[in-house]
Amino acid sequence: MKALTYIDQVKFALTDKPKPVILDPRDAVVRVTLGSICTSDLHIKHGSVPRAVPGITVGHEMVGVVEEVGSAVTTVKPGDRVTVNVETFCGECFFCRHGFVNNCTDPNGGWALGCRIDGGQAEFVRVPYADQGLNKIPDSVSDEQALLVGDVLATGFWAARISEITEEDTVLIIGAGPTGLCTLMCVLLRKPKRIIVCEKDPARIAFVHEHYPNVLTCTPTECEAFTLANSDHGGADVVLEVAGAKDTFRLAWRCARPNAVVTVVALYDEPQTLPLPDMYGKNLTFKTGGVDGCDCAEILRLIEQGKIDTTPLITHRYKLEDIEEAYRIFENKLDGVIKVAVEP
């Protein structure tokens, strides 16, 4: 089968690989029907994910049809349409039992697919712990509607959930890329008093205005003053940092009011500085880490009910054989791209 392979730093290549097989009774093999490219894939390409293993098939955003299941799998069967969770988790360790599946203690726990084991930018993918990592797609939900459930949408849902948002809050979201827009959709479900999106790309600001007309927008250079002018207590009550740019972590805590929550959703290419003397007295609560993707079933219900729709984010579509061109478009943010759908 064809699979996009991590050759070494800065190089991915489409190669031929054997079709995956069941290695453990809890595995499933899924025929990928639609996949996508994530910014985290670019972080692997740029060498920012040291745990990524050269030779693996990249890709962790996908939906498909169950092809085969191991003898211990009980929740899905061949023929089921499923989303694939970016996180691999056993469901039994301390962290899994408490909903922190990103910290699963299994050797393949956490972000494994497309990082430490073969992922889904391919025709087939093996999914460990299939009872945990696969969710059935409702018949009324299309592949495109479900495509982002297992990663960027789960990330946004997790970020909104842990940020303690109330209906009295001013929420600042820094970054309107794919994850930022998914985070926006999930923050909207919590009905805060106002939402501000900070973004430098005029096309993405226009996208926010078109689809979310009640959301305020600003650019990074004006963000501090704009947030101060459009909040009730000297800054945002909640800040979600989703951009991961050079200066956006600093911008996040500076825009927060005293005693605010700052949730760091982004993955950075460089270490960030926490200048404690400068923020002394702000009494901020920082929340960090990867997605804990244990809400996928609930997200699918919300999609089925029409409360979340990520299909406008899919701006480009490619066949698997053209995935290197898809990467060129996505990595360089060409042609108004937000998300790319890849069909094997």
Q: Report DSSP state, residue 11.
A: E
Q: What are phi and psi of 92, to 5 degrees?
A: -120, -25
154-287: same fold as 2-151+292-343? no
Residue written as token pair 């497309």: 114
User: pLDDT tens per residue, the chain (344 residues)?
Assistant: 999 999 988 899 999 999 999 999 999 999 999 999 998 899 899 888 888 999 999 999 999 999 999 999 999 999 999 999 999 999 999 999 988 888 899 988 888 999 999 999 999 999 999 999 999 999 999 999 999 999 999 999 999 999 999 999 999 999 999 999 999 999 999 999 999 999 999 999 999 999 999 999 999 999 999 999 999 999 999 999 999 999 999 999 999 999 999 999 988 878 899 899 988 899 999 998 667 778 999 999 999 999 999 999 999 999 999 999 999 999 999 999 999 999 99
Residue written as token pair 């009324």: 140
Taking a C-beta distance cutoff of 8 angstroms, is the pair 256, 179 a contact? no
- pLDDT for the residue numbered 267: 81
Q: What is the DSSP string of 234-282?
A: SSEEEEEE----TTHHHHHHHHEEEEEEEEE----SS-----TTTTTT-
Task: Find, among 344, 343, 340, the residue nearest to 38 by Cα.
Answer: 340
Sign (positive or negative) of CA dihedral 249, 250, 255, 261? positive
Query: Which pTM value belongs to this model?
Result: 0.94
Alpha carbon distances (Å) from 94 to 19, 98, 200? 34, 6, 41
- pLDDT for the residue numbered 205: 97
The CATH architecture one would assign to domain 154-287 is 3-Layer(aba) Sandwich (3.40)
- pLDDT for the residue numbered 292: 72
Residue 127: both structure tokens together: 């999914």
- pLDDT for the residue numbered 290: 67
Domain spans of the chain?
2-151+292-343, 154-287
- pLDDT for the residue numbered 143: 98
Fold of 2-151+292-343: Quinone Oxidoreductase; Chain A, domain 1 (3.90.180)
